[in-house]
Amino acid sequence: MIGDVIREREATVDVDRGLFLLRYASGAVSGPSPIALVRPAAGSEPFVEILSAPGVVNGFVSAPGECVVIRAEKPARINLQIKGQGTDGSLDATFRIEPLAGIGSSSASPPATRVDDASGRGSAFKLVAHVARRGDIAVDPGVWIAGPEAPAAIEGVGVHGALPAGVGIEIQPLVGTNPPRWLDWAPSGAFVGTRGRALPLVGLRLRLVGERTGQHELSADALFLGSPIVSKRGPEVELQGPVGRDPLVGLRLALAAVAAGAKEQDFAGHGPVLAETEIVDRQKEPRIRLFRASAGGPNSPGA
């Protein structure tokens, strides 16, 4: 059933003390999806238990939809090994890790994303959005507005508060008119979009501006109605659903420092609701993606 496995990738996942569900969310777009083996990482074996369904080898997941339960007596690391099927088997796979309610108090309060400027002071900007039937909501970097746990149409957004010296964030919204229309770019501190007109955003562009933009990059996650989460990272990002008309029902934004001479890494910060881990094979572009869900509320200040 598995075939000849000759290609594989690995990812390491940090978990807090508690009980978690690791679900195989999606696999290859075409051809057989990879299989996965979930095991405690070296040093974590004595206090981590991996449980699978009866009749299945513990830690083995063979297809999207399957899952395992992770029981950790204290903070630990989990090894996720992805194996392609066949000579050209894809390594693309998406997983979601969810803390089970009431277990693991520390997993509900992950640290907020912070960025230090040259003076050593952290940036304190807020992402502000007008959400249908909820009004204006302001959150810290790395925290979802609406999002997977409580999706709702976002009609306008803005970035307010202190950013690192020499850095600004400009935003260009795609408003859900008929047809959708891109508005002009707006600077930090401005509100873009609408309020109370039942016109959700269906797309968003963000870019860094200023003399020190090369020292930072944006990390953005967006959820469009009926679509998977869109995650982008870089000095300029564009967020849009697959058909370009789906309402934006969740948004998360963070600003990350780029270390001089650092090797490229595709690891997003562990935000309060979801975090994504991606490993890229530069020859065939397979990806392992992990989304981390929090036990906290959708707009809780603290995958």
pLDDT in tens, the chain (303 residues): 333 434 677 888 888 888 888 888 887 777 788 888 999 988 888 889 999 888 888 889 888 888 999 998 888 888 888 888 776 777 777 888 888 754 443 333 333 333 333 333 344 789 999 999 889 999 988 899 999 888 999 999 999 988 888 899 999 999 999 999 999 999 988 999 998 888 999 999 999 999 888 889 999 999 999 889 999 999 999 999 988 899 999 999 998 887 554 433 333 333 333 333 333 333 444 455 565 554 444 444 333
Q: Are residues 84 and 155 in the same domain?
A: no
Written as one letter, the residue type at 42 is: A
Q: Are residues 23 and 76 in the same domain?
A: yes
Question: In this structure, are residues 162 and 125 in contact, taking their beta carbons and an 8 Å threshold?
Answer: yes
Beta strand 93-99 pairing with 287-292: parallel
Question: In this structure, are residues 32 and 3 in contact, taking their beta carbons and an 8 Å threshold?
Answer: yes
Please tell me the total count of domains within the chain. Answer: 2
- Domain of residue 80, residue span: 1-111+270-303
Q: Are residues 132 and 219 in the same domain?
A: yes
In terms of phi and psi (left: phi > 0; alpha: psi -120 to 50; beta: otherwise), the region of 232 is: beta
Q: Are residues 81 and 106 in the same domain?
A: yes
- Other beta carbons less than 10 A from residue 59's beta carbon: 21
Q: Are residues 277 and 247 in the same domain?
A: no
pTM listed for this prediction:
0.49
24 inside domain: yes
Q: Dihedral sign for Cα 120, 167, 277, 142, please.
A: positive
Chain CA centroid to CA 117, Å: 24
117 inside domain: no
Q: Are residues 231 and 289 in the same domain?
A: no
Q: Are residues 185 and 255 in the same domain?
A: yes
Q: Are residues 291 and 246 in the same domain?
A: no
> How many Å apart are CA 237 and CA 264, to the nearest integer?
17
Q: Are residues 220 and 298 in the same domain?
A: no
> How many Å apart are CA 207 and CA 31, to the nearest integer?
36
